Amino acid sequence: MPITIADVAARAKVSKTTVSRVLNGKGELDESTAARVRAVIEELGYVPSARAVNLARGRTRVVAMLVPSLTWPWMGEVVQGAVDVLEAEEYGLLLFTCNRGEDSMRQFGAQVAAKSFDGLLVIEPEGTLDYIATLHARGLPMVLIDDRDQMSGQIPSVGTTNHIGAGAAARHLIEVGRRRPLMITGPSRFGCTQQRRDGFAAVYAEAGHPIDEDRIMLGDFTFEQGAEAIHRATAAGIEFDAVFCHNDVSAAGAMQALQEHGRRIPEDVSVVGFDDIPMAAHTQPPLTTVHQPMREMGEAAARALLAHFEGTPLPNRTTIIPATFTVRESTVSSS
């Protein structure tokens, strides 16, 4: 039979409350009593329940993470970054997705009500923003990993430089002689889409090559829409010598469609993506892309939350981790 706190109390001839105080370092205790209890704990080999000790301390030492789905191409990087920080500090992670819609959110809400975790990391599932804001207003510590830039300044968040990253893509394409880019965007409702569109277009406009509206194709971050945008542009007779896609998955679709139309990459058309997911290094040819620091964003969000638990206020502005630019053979020939 496992040794219990009652066994320790009986052997040390004290109450269970006294044993609990020794374990948690709380309350005024006679040093000789505390020493006797510690000796009995060692003698019996008593190992207290981590959950019970943490609850007694007012902590679960668990952080929750709410994400739309684990199938998003970069999601594993964010989660791994957060896990690395949490595990190093002996915290657990309780992971929630929204794959089952309202049922998933009901399950998550039940865990919120049960106070099953100390704080929350969020990659905002679509349609949950008001609920998340309400939880924040009620005092639940949280950090938003703000890939969509929807709540900047309202909830503590970690973000990246979408505008600057897209500008870097434009400057690179101009440097390699591309003057007529096609842009395949993300969904217009996302803040990051507007930032990437504006950052890219601004650099081309400053260089004297404004981008006409007919060369801006609305996409949805999918492979299929990346390919479809190329088919539509080609059928419409739109001339272009470069493609900037708002993510790597749609860039892969665009590359496939370009090759189907007999366009060589990068000799005829240069292609740039955004995210730098692992797949980007393995497309044919390998994809030049804006590197989103997703793992670093997960790490930074987790560190901010843990620091808050130790008394450091959460920042009231977005913590920015800059994007970088990775050049591969989809814009510069290796020969």
pLDDT of residue 164: 96
Report the distance separating Cα 190 and Cα 204, nearest Å.
22
What is the distance between the terminal CA atoms of the chain, rounded to a whole angstrom?
71
* Position 6 pLDDT exceeds 80: yes
* Position 151 pLDDT exceeds 60: no
* Position 51 pLDDT exceeds 80: no
pTM: 0.80
pLDDT of residue 152: 56
Report the distance separating Cα 247 and Cα 223, nearest Å.
10
Beta bridge partners of 217: 184
CB 86 within 8 A of CB 60: no
pLDDT of residue 24: 74
* Position 223 pLDDT exceeds 60: yes
Beta-carbon count within 10 A of 166 CB: 27
Give the chain's domains with CATH numbers.
5-57 (1.10.260.40), 62-160+294-321 (3.40.50.2300), 162-292 (3.40.50.2300)
Q: How confident is the model at residue 99 (pLDDT cuts 50, 70, 90)?
A: confident
pLDDT of residue 50: 57
- Tracing tokens 């059928």 back to the chain, one arrives at 235
pLDDT tens, position by position, 280-300: 999 999 999 999 999 999 999
Both tokens assigned to 271: 């292609």
Beta-carbon count within 10 A of 302 CB: 28
**Among positive and negative, which fits the CA dihedral 307, 308, 311, 312?**
positive
